[in-house]
């Protein structure tokens, strides 16, 4: 079963690779342009990646102004250090690495300052569709997510909240896909324990 799933994933990845080749060539040209200082290349790279970087930063920091700062810093650092970008990974992956690192620094800073006086709704924007309706449960869930170990929380937010694949998470965090999967399972296990009093919400 696992082998079959792995094979189909490989085939899907091959097809994705074929489709992505022209995009990669275009991105390589943009990176070369950015290295030469071409402002339009900077802008094109920004336009291509900014949405995902911002969403990731927002998921991890939970606060709009921090998400903005992290996103801005990510691009400032990426453009300043683009000479050092060797192209071993996709440019987007490199940006996500920077964004995750900056976001985690921000989170640590927030924790140190103990300045989380904002109401929970500021740190947790609720969608209309799938959020738990019980406000106590919502609060407990967010609190439990925030109490997860840093790496565990990052994997959970990237996978379950933002929809990254384990392959993308592994590339962005510099871990193996196995680690990403294991940490997601740990995160869910810890959340299940933390929310045990609400078990009726998910048990049939």
Task: Report 1-40 residues binding other proteins (CB under 8 A).
Answer: none
44: contact with other proteins by CB under 8 A: no
- Write the interaction track for other proteins spanning residues 68-97; mark x where CB under 8 A is met and - where it is not: xx-xx--xxx-xx-----------------
- Report the residue number, 90 or 151, with the smaller CB distance to other proteins: 151
142: contact with other proteins by CB under 8 A: yes
Q: Is 100 exposed, middle or buried (0-12, 13-18, 19+ CB in 10 A)?
A: buried
103: contact with other proteins by CB under 8 A: no
117: contact with other proteins by CB under 8 A: no
* Shortest reach from residue 195's CB to other proteins, in Å: 8
Which range binds other proteins by CB under 8 A, 11-19, 28-36, 42-50, 87-95? 42-50
Rounded Cα distance, 25 and 20, in Å: 9
140: contact with other proteins by CB under 8 A: no
* Shortest reach from residue 16's CB to other proteins, in Å: 23
Rounded Cα distance, 129 and 52, in Å: 21
Q: How many residues bind other proteins (CB under 8 A)?
A: 72
139: contact with other proteins by CB under 8 A: no
Rounded Cα distance, 57 and 5, in Å: 31
Phi, then psi, of 168 in degrees rounded to 5: -65, -40
Query: Distances in Å between the alpha carbon of 93 and those of 36, 45, 134, 147, 177?
Result: 21, 13, 36, 26, 14
Query: Distances in Å between the alpha carbon of 177 and those of 135, 136, 165, 182, 184?
Result: 34, 34, 9, 9, 11
Q: Of residues 152-181, which lie at the interface with other proteins (CB under 8 A)?
A: 152, 154, 156-157, 160-163, 173-176, 178-179
Sorted by sequence, the CB contacts under 8 Å of residue 141 that are 6+ apart come out as 132, 191, 195
Buried b (16+ CB within 10 A) or exposed e, 126-147: eeeeeebeeeeebebbbebbee
194: contact with other proteins by CB under 8 A: no
Which range binds other proteins by CB under 8 A, 7-15, 21-29, 88-96, 190-198? 190-198
- Report the residue number, 22 or 204, with the smaller CB distance to other proteins: 204
Rg of the chain on CA atoms, in Å: 19
- Report the residue number, 41 or 148, with the smaller CB distance to other proteins: 148
């Amino acid at each position: 079963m696992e082998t079959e799933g792995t094979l189909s994933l490989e085939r899907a990845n091959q097809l994705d690779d074929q489709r992505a080749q022209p995009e990669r060539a275009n991105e390589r040209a943009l990176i070369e342009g950015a290295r030469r200082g071409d402002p339009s290349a900077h802008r094109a790279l920004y336009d291509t990646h900014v949405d995902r970087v911002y969403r990731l930063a927002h998921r991890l920091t939970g606060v709009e102004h921090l998400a903005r700062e992290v996103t801005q810093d990510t691009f400032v650092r990426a453009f300043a250090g683009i000479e050092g970008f060797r192209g071993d990974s996709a440019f987007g992956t490199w940006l996500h690495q920077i964004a995750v690192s900056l976001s985690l620094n921000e989170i640590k800073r927030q924790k140190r300052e103990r300045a989380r006086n904002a109401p929970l709704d500021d740190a947790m924007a609720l969608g209309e569709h799938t959020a738990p309706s019980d406000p106590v449960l919502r609060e407990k869930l967010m609190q439990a997510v925030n109490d997860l170990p840093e790496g565990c929380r990052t994997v959970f937010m990237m996978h379950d909240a933002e929809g990254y694949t384990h392959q993308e998470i592994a590339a962005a965090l510099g871990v193996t896909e196995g680690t990403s999967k294991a940490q997601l399972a740990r995160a869910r296990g810890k959340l299940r324990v933390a929310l045990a009093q609400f078990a009726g919400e998910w048990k049939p």
